[in-house]
Structure formats: structure tokens, C-alpha cells
Amino acid sequence: MTGVGITPPCARIADRDPGMADRMWNTTCGPDGDELIDRDMRRKGRELCAACPLRLDCISRALVNGWKDGSVYGGLDYTGRWALARLIGADLGIGVNGLHRLDRQRIHDWLAVHPDWPRRMRLVGAGYWRQAKRRQRSRVARPDIPPVPPERRRTQPIPTGMVQGVLF
């Protein structure tokens, strides 16, 4: 097993000051119950993670055990883990949702074999958001195209009392 006997910086900080560790790698609750993110402390936490010898272990564990939360693992927040999951999934020929079925060591080995994964991950994330922005712009009303009459629309109105969720 990798990293036996090494204490990562996040564990040492959590032992000394759990509140600081929460501000660096997790979301904290504000006085009104809202989740708060201390951006300066998050930046410091990501810098510590970048130099940590156990970073690949942390990232691979996060990708296998469910990476869809607001915490920072291995220096990656949700959007970073999402882009990395898309990159690894595309390279291994599986869907993003199939990563949890993989062995953690396989993801760790993939990260070790591909040392350029941070750059590739940023490109994947930027490409996705560029495509999303293009899709959004293509839906903008154009004056030369008449709107679709309500009777020809395929969508159904949302019944009152139901709440729509968010995708990300």
C-alpha cells in the first residue's frame, strides 16, 4: 500500500486545529445555516495538497468513494474532480458514473502513469464549459426566427408545489 507511515499535512492540521482544517478543505456552516467557503483558506489548502506525497492516494480515494460534494480532496474541488473523472473515464472507456466500480489502485496507477493529468484536466473542464456556453447562446431568442407557438412546444409546465433541483 502506498504512503504507509506518512502523515499527510491535512491530518496534522486537523489534529492541531480542526476548525482551520474545515475552512481549508470542507465547507463550514454560517450562523444562518448556509454553507460558507473561505476562499483564502481553500487556496492554502490546495497549495498544501499540491506538495503532499499522498496526493494521488487522496484523489483516487475521492473518485472511487463518491466525489460529488463541496470538499477539497488532493487539492481538487468538485469541478476539478468532475473534469478529472471525465478525463479518466474517457481514457479508460467507461462513463463518469462507473468510476466507483473501479479499484482505487487502478485510478492511482492511471494518475501516476499520466503526470500531465492536471493540464489535461483543465483542458477538459474548459472545453466542457465552452460547449455549455455555446449551447446556451444557441438558445437565445433570435429576431429572424419566429418563436414556437405554445401548442407546438414539447415541454410540459411544472405543476405548482414541485421544486426543480440543480444538475451540478
Task: Work out the mean pLDDT of the chain and round it to a whole number.
Answer: 80
When mean pLDDT is compared over 108-117, 141-150, 158-167, the highest value belongs to 108-117
Residue 146 lies in a domain: no
- Tell me the three cell numbers of residue 134: 455555446
pLDDT in tens, 34-74: 777 788 888 888 888 888 889 999 999 988 887 677 788 88
* In-domain check, residue 23: yes
Same domain, 19 and 64: no
164 located within any domain: no
Residues paired with residue 28 on neighbouring β-strands, in sequence order: 36
Same domain (yes/no): 58, 113: yes
pLDDT average, residue stretch 112-120: 92
Residues 6 or more apart in contact with residue 91 via CB below 8 angstroms: 110, 114
Residue 140 lies in a domain: no
**142, part of any domain:** no
Are residues 127 and 64 both part of a single domain?
yes
Q: Can you tell me the distance from the alpha carbon of 152 to that of 148, in angstroms, rounded to the nearest whole number?
A: 7
Residue 107 corresponds to which cell in the numbers above?
A: 485510478
Residues 112 and 70 in one domain: yes
Looking at the fold, whether 69 and 129 belong to one and the same domain comes out as yes
Both 44 and 66 in one domain: the answer is no
Kindly state whether residue 148 falls inside one of the protein's structural domains.
no
Residue span of the structural domain in which 37 resides: 7-52
**Percent of the chain surpassing pLDDT 70:** 82
Domain count, the chain: 2
What are the cell numbers at 136?
446556451
Total-model pTM: 0.68
Q: How many CA atoms lie within 13 A of 161 on its CB side?
A: 1
Does residue 64 share a domain with residue 26? no
Neighbouring residues of 110: CB distance < 8 A, sequence distance ≥ 6: 88, 91, 92
For 86-98, how does the pLDDT look when each residue is reduced to its tens digit (9 = 90+)? 889 888 888 878 8
Instruction: Enter the C-alpha cell of residue 87.
Output: 478525463
Q: Are residues 16 and 28 in the same domain?
A: yes
Using DSSP, how many helices (H) and how many strands (E) does the chain show?
A: 7, 2
Residue 167 has pLDDT above 60, yes or no: no
